[in-house]
Structure formats: C-alpha cells, structure tokens
Amino acid sequence: EDQVTQSPEALRLQEGESSSLNCSYTVSGLRGLFWYRQDPGKGPEFLFTLYSAGEEKEKERLKATLTKKESFLHITAPKPEDSATYLCAVHPHNQGGKLIFGQGTELSVKP
Amino acid sequence: DAGVIQSPRHEVTEMGQEVTLRCKPISGHNSLFWYRQTMMRGLELLIYFNNNVPIDDSGMPEDRFSAKMPNASFSTLKIQPSEPRDSAVYFCASSLRTVDTEAFFGQGTRLTVV
C-alpha cells in the first residue's frame, strides 16, 4: 500500500537554528514527490516537485532533496515567517492524478 | 488570475440538510481535484476531473457525496444528507494537467454539521 510518513509531527526552532524535516514514503513506483506549505486557515501552497533520486531544489531558505525512500526539506537560518505546516505528497505511477499526502510537520520558529 | 476560488468559506448546517460547495478553477487548467482535510486523516483526495470528466471517485466516502463539473470553470461537491462526521475543511485544487504538474489550492470551505 502506498504510504507517506512525515517526521517530526511538530518542530520548534529558534530563529536562525537550521534543521530538516523528513518525508518517508512507500510507493510501488514514484512519479513525483511534492512539498507544500500550509498556513493556518489557508490552502496548501506549492513549493517543490522532485522526480528522481539525487535531485535537489532550492527556494530562499528551503532546500528539498530526494532519495529512493525519503525526502528531506532543509531549512537554513529560519525566520518566524517560515512558521507553517509543511506537507509532503507522493504521486504514484498508474494512479492518474492522485496525490497521497503525509500528515505534515508543524514548524514554529520563535524570534 | 485570482487563483482557485471556493465558496462559501464557512458553512454551518444541521444534520440531514443538503450542502453544496462550489469551486472555480484557474482559467486554462484542465484538471480539478476535491480534497477533504481533517485532523485525524489529514488531506485526502475525494475525486478528480480531467477536461470536465470524472476520472477517479474512489475517495468519495459514500453515496451521500456527489460531484459535478458542468463546464471548465465550475464544479460542485454536494453532500446529501449531511452528517456530523462530514465536518471538515474541503479544498478544491486545479492544475494544468492531471500528471506531473503542481496543483493550486483554493482557500477551502470549513464545513460544520451540527
């Protein structure tokens, strides 16, 4: 069964304290892995898509990496405005447009 | 473009009533998705359309749920009759294509069934 597990469930950081969020996945065949950011009361906002092991993508203080079993979202020198829930989703082969989401990591960055 | 537009933003209804949620996707996007988000189950795909045609409705919880897309700029998700366990945030999302492209989400409709 296709599955996505994110850890930790919640993460509290001080401003400037770098860390990583983990997304482990089990899927019959991976078409793509997506990272989204969700602020309270809003819909998820697209961040990155990764397609193959070894691929990396960066955006401001965020860098996403992908291996055959997991993805990491590295946050370098975070700021309070980076506080949000970060969602990981996999797009399996042979399932059309279906995305399977993890439960998310709630990140809080204190000044 | 204003993005994906959902209405209403909040809906409170009594058990047994019919509820209709509405969505206007981004112009030019060919795929539309309905998701439900709860604390217990996270974000789950209910149904998606490609070129206005329902492709996969395996996530629709039961026959009380139905979705339509009469044209490229409008979709509805209907619950009839509603039950307290349907309380959740319902998101609509659209993308250029079904596969390999990111989905853009609306602000969601928070449904409370009392």
Of B56, B105, B106, the CB nearest to A96: B56
B105 contacts in A (CB within 8 Å)? 36, 43-45
The count of CB pairs under 8 A between chains A and B is 57
pLDDT at A94 over 80: no
- The pLDDT, as a whole number, for residue A1 is 83
Which DSSP helix (H) or strand (E) runs through A26? strand A19-26
User: Which of B45, B95, B102 lies nearest to residue A98, judging by beta carbons?
Assistant: B45
Report DSSP state, residue A78: -
pLDDT digits (tens, 9 = 90+) for A13-33: 999 999 999 999 999 889 999
3-state SS, one letter per residue, for B39-106: CCCEEEEEEEEECCEEEECCCCCCCCEEEEEEECCEEEEEECCCCHHHCEEEEEEEECCCCCCCCEEC
Q: How confident is the model at residue B100 (pLDDT cuts 50, 70, 90)?
A: low
Q: Which residue of A has its CA nearest to B6?
A: A43
Q: Are strands B74-79 and B19-24 parallel, antiparallel or unpaired?
A: antiparallel
For residue B9, the chain A residue with the least C-alpha distance is A41
Mean pLDDT of B9-14: 97
Structure tokens at A98: 């279906």
pLDDT bin (cut points 50, 70, 90) of residue A65 is very high
